[in-house]
Amino acid sequence: MGVSKLVLSTLFLATLVVTSNANFNDEFDITFGDGRARILNNGEDLTLSLDKYSGSGFRSKNEYLFGKIDMQIKLVPGNSAGSVTTYYLSSMGSAHDEIDFEFLGNVTGQPYTLHTNVFAQGKGNREQQFHLWFDPTEDFHTYSILWNPQRIVFSVDGIPIREFKNMESKGVSFPKDQPMRVYSSLWNADDWATQGGRVKADWSKAPFTASFKAYKAEACVWAWGTSSCGSVSSPTSTSDWLNQELDSASLERMNWVQKNYMIYNYCADVQRFPQGLPTECSQSS
C-alpha cells in the first residue's frame, strides 16, 4: 500500500481551510518569469506577462487533496495568437495527476479556445475544447474546478461545462490519491496553440498580459502526509462540496454549453481511437 493510501485510511481531525478572496502574497509563490509576474494592490491582484524571451507563472503554497477552487481571470486582449494561459491543479512526478484549464490565444476578433483535460497516474488524452459565450478579454470571469472523490466538474461563471466522474469500478483511473497544487502560467506555444501552429505570435504586440484576482479555495489541505479533511471513505469535513453532484438544472446548463460551444470531444473522436472509444466515454466525461 502506498504512503498516501495508508495515510488516507486513518482519520485526521482538523479544520477545513476556507480561503475567500485570498491574498496572493500569502497563498502563492512566483515560479518563473524574472519580474514578469507581479503581485499588485497589496496582494489582491496578480498579473502574468509574456514577451519574446520568457513567460511567467505562479503556484499555490498549499497542496490540496480535493477541493473547490475558484479564480477570476481576464485573458490577454487583442492579438493573443501563440500564447497559452493556464490554470490547473497538478501533482509531481511522471505518474502525476492533473486537472487542466488552458486558454489558447487567437488573432484579434477570433475566439479563444478553452482546452480542458484530466490526467490520472500520468495518463491524459481526455481533451474537451470549447469556445466561450462571451469575450474573456473584456472583463474578469470565474473559472472553477470542483474535485471531490466522486467527480471533477469544470465551471465558468458558475455554469458547469464538463463533468468527469469517478469510474474506477470500471477500470478507469481517477485522481484521488495524490495531493495537487494550483498552478498558473502564461507562455509561448506558437508552434501549436493557434490554428495548429499556423499562426505565430506577433512579438511587436508584446508584452502580453493576463490578470488574476479573487482566488478562493474551499479545500482539504495536505501537509506532513495528512489531509485536513480526513480519509476519502470517512471525511471529517461536512462541507457540501465534498459530496456535491450536478442537479437537474446544472446538467441542463452543461448540456446547453456542450451542444452550443463544444468544438472538440475526445469521446467523439473515433478516428483517434480505432480500437474503440475509452471506457469512460460510455457515460458523461
Domain ranges within the chain, ordered by starting residue: 3-282
Residue 238 pLDDT > 60: no
Of the two residues 96 and 236, the one the predictor is more confident about is 96
CA distances (Å), origin 282, targets 37, 77, 79, 122: 42, 38, 39, 22
Predicted TM-score of the model (pTM): 0.90
Q: What is the pLDDT of residues 139-183, one digit of tens each?
A: 999 999 999 999 999 999 999 999 999 999 999 999 999 999 999
Please tell me which residue in 27, 44, 63, 98 is annotated as part of the active site: 98
Whether residue 44 lies in the annotated active site: no
Whether residue 102 lies in the annotated active site: yes
The pLDDT score that the predictor gives to residue 236 is 56
Please tell me which residue in 102, 163, 218, 280 is annotated as part of the active site: 102
Look up the CATH number of domain 3-282: 2.60.120.200
Of 87-101, 117-131, 212-226, 258-272, the one with minimum mean pLDDT is 212-226
SS3 assignment, position 15:
coil
Residue 283 pLDDT > 80: no
Q: What is the rounded distance in angstroms from the CA atom of residue 13 to the CA atom of residue 226?
A: 10
The cell numbers describing 191, all together, are 508552434
The pLDDT score that the predictor gives to residue 3 is 36
Q: Are 39 and 13 in contact (CB under 8 A)?
A: no
The pLDDT score that the predictor gives to residue 82 is 95
Beta strand pairing call for 45-50 and 141-147: unpaired
The pLDDT score that the predictor gives to residue 225 is 78
The pLDDT score that the predictor gives to residue 249 is 97
User: pLDDT-derived band of residue 12, with 50, 70 and 90 as boundaries?
Assistant: very low
The cell numbers describing 97, all together, are 495527476
The pLDDT score that the predictor gives to residue 8 is 35
φ and ψ of 178, to 5 deg: -110, 125
Closest-CA residue to 100 (of 80, 115, 122, 82): 115
Task: Over range 224-247, report the average pLDDT.
Answer: 74
Name the H helices within the chain.
Answer: 3-8, 24-27, 248-261
